[in-house]
Amino acid sequence: MAGNPKKRPKPKKRPKPKKRTGRKEEAAPSPPPYRPPSLPDYRRLFEAALRVADMAPWTWMEETEMFAVRDPVGGDLRFVSVMGNLGTYRAVSVYPDRLALVQYWRMQNEIPDFGDASLLLETRQIQATFGPKYELSRQEKEVVRRLNLRGRGAAGWPHFLGFLPGWYPWDVDAEEARILTLALDQLLQVAPRVKEQPGLLDWDTEHGPFLVRGPNGPSPEAEVVETTEEIAAYELRFDLAFHQEEIDVVNDAPALSDALEVDVFPPNARVGPGRGQQPWFLVVVQAHTGALVLTEMLVVKTDMLDLWIQIPGRILHALAKIPARPEVIRVRNPFLHAFLSTLGHQTGTEVDLVDDLPTATVVRRLVEQGLP
């Protein structure tokens, strides 16, 4: 009797070769660690915010009437602004460092389209907003239930948000709650003085001089010290390195007569659960023909400076592949203007800061509608 023939083993599938992109693959940034405020932390924050809601300082304070709070933990300055004088969006915003303050003033003074939501997402800040109860997060509603809190009318419920560039606004963490409570406590002292002395906080530059207040120690009983201080100018420092081969290719390429418009904005997309990562979309387009030179999705690893510093090299790489040398590049973001000017020096390209990017705006609207 013949034995069963042996089955031949199936040949192993060879793995498909990975496509070479010419760029090292980078891991997506991890979500920022989140430590929620304790119930006592939330109690102090809600109590301060509800007192602010009762006071309604936005009825007499302008958004640019800012003051600073010196943080007893570390001594850093936190800059406080009251929004809502126009009656549309009532909030207290705290800009936690000088970079955030500079970004705020750039929005006020240099960018006409202040209603652009991307400008808000670029700037690190902590907010207490005041509106209807349904705007509260699930976490805040549970805190309200546990603390048995009562709102101040249909639009008097405090809602607390932390804005971290590269991520969607989310519930404040324990450190943000501490800073926001400190700011609200000092606002309760400063706002009545502004009402009695109009012009007390009338300065309109990023350097002040600012009214600076803050406890001289972390203890609740610590004495509050008040001074007036000029804030040193923020120095934007960065070091860009370009591939010399790509610089040479672009410089030897024929001149591109059409100007390039460069825009960076957050599309309507959230990546990941929870807080969710906020990607940014880079568009480089010819102003008159509408021809796309580059579209790319970018992520923020640490802050917006990390995002902006990526862009000149990516644009250079795209130009070297065409190849073409633009005579003019137009941007509307002053920080992006500073970074791209470095590339302009290498390629003899004029980089202009403008109010409007009509062609790039058309591309942006299509992206936001999910068409491309």
User: Per residue in 119-162, pLDDT tens?
Assistant: 677 889 999 999 999 999 999 999 999 999 987 777 789 999 99
Instruction: Give residue-wise pLDDT tens across range 66-112.
Output: 999 999 999 999 999 999 987 778 999 999 998 888 888 877 765 55
Considering the domain architecture, whether residues 199 and 333 belong to the same structural domain is answered as no
| Two tokens, residue 71 | 């943080």
Please check whether residue 237 lies inside any domain of the structure.
no
Residue 357 has pLDDT above 90, yes or no: yes
Contact 269, 121 (CB under 8 A): no
206 and 80 in one domain? yes
Q: pTM of this prediction?
A: 0.82
- Considering the domain boundaries, does residue 162 fall inside one? yes
Based on the domain organization, do 254 and 174 belong to the same domain? Answer: no
- Which range is least confidently modeled, 19-33, 197-211, 313-327? 19-33
Backbone angles phi, psi at 284, to 5 degrees: -125, 120
d(CA 139, CA 213) in angstroms, rounded, equals 31
Q: Would you give the end-to-end CA distance of the chain in angstroms?
A: 68
Out of 5-9, 242-246, 251-255, least confident range: 5-9
Mean pLDDT within 1-15: 48
Do 358 and 330 share a structural domain?
A: yes
**30 part of a folded domain:** no
Residue 18: per-residue pLDDT: 41
> In this structure, are 249 and 309 located in the same domain?
yes
pLDDT tens sequence across 212-233: 999 988 877 889 999 998 887 7
DSSP annotation of 32: P
Residues 132 and 255 in one domain: no
Q: Do 185 and 117 belong together in one domain?
A: yes
In a domain, 339, yes or no: yes
**CATH at residue 271:** 3.30.420.10
In contact, 157 and 130? CB cutoff 8 Å: yes
Domain count, the chain: 2
* 272 and 192 in a common domain: no
Determine what percent of the chain is predicted with pLDDT higher than 70. 87
Among 173, 203, 229, the domain-final residue is 229
What does DSSP assign to residue 133? G
Same domain, residue pair 358 and 272: yes
Radius of gyration of the chain (CA): 26
Per-residue pLDDT for 10 more than 60? Answer: no
Q: Is residue 15 part of a domain?
A: no
Measured CA angle at 98 (ends 58, 72), to 5 deg? 80
- Across the chain, the runs of DSSP E, i.e. the strands, are 67-70, 77-83, 91-95, 125-131, 157-163, 170-171, 210-215, 224-229, 255-256, 260-265, 280-286, 292-298, 325-326, 328-331, 350-353
Question: Rounded to whole angstroms, how far apart are CA atoms 84 and 113?
Answer: 18
When pLDDT is averaged across residues 323-340 and rounded to a whole number, the result is: 93
pLDDT band, residue 27 (cuts 50/70/90): low
Domain carrying residue 318 = 244-368
Q: Are 173 and 56 within one domain?
A: yes
Q: Which residue has the tokens 């990526």?
A: 310
Mean pLDDT on 281-301? 94
Choosing from 173, 205, 229, the residue where a domain stops is 229
CA dist., res. 343 & res. 368, Å (int): 28
In a domain, 26, yes or no: no
Burial class, 150, CB count within 10 angstroms (exposed 0-12 / middle 13-18 / buried 19+): exposed
Task: Record the tokens describing residue 250, joined without a space.
Answer: 């672009």
Does 361 reside within a domain?
yes
| pLDDT (average), residues 348-369 | 92
Q: Would you say residue 30 has pLDDT above 90? A: no
Say yes or no: 300 and 335 in one domain.
Answer: yes
Same domain, 222 and 254: no
| Domain final residue pick, 229, 261, 288 | 229
| pLDDT at residue 22 is higher than 50 | no
Residue that wins the pLDDT comparison between 220 and 6:
220
Pairing of strands 325-326, 255-256: parallel
Residues 206, 299: Cα–Cα separation, whole Å? 28
Q: Is 25 a member of any domain?
A: no
For 265, phi then psi, to 5°, come to: -155, 160
List, as one string, the DSSP characters of 312-329: HHHHHHHHHHTT-EESEE
pLDDT at 194: 96
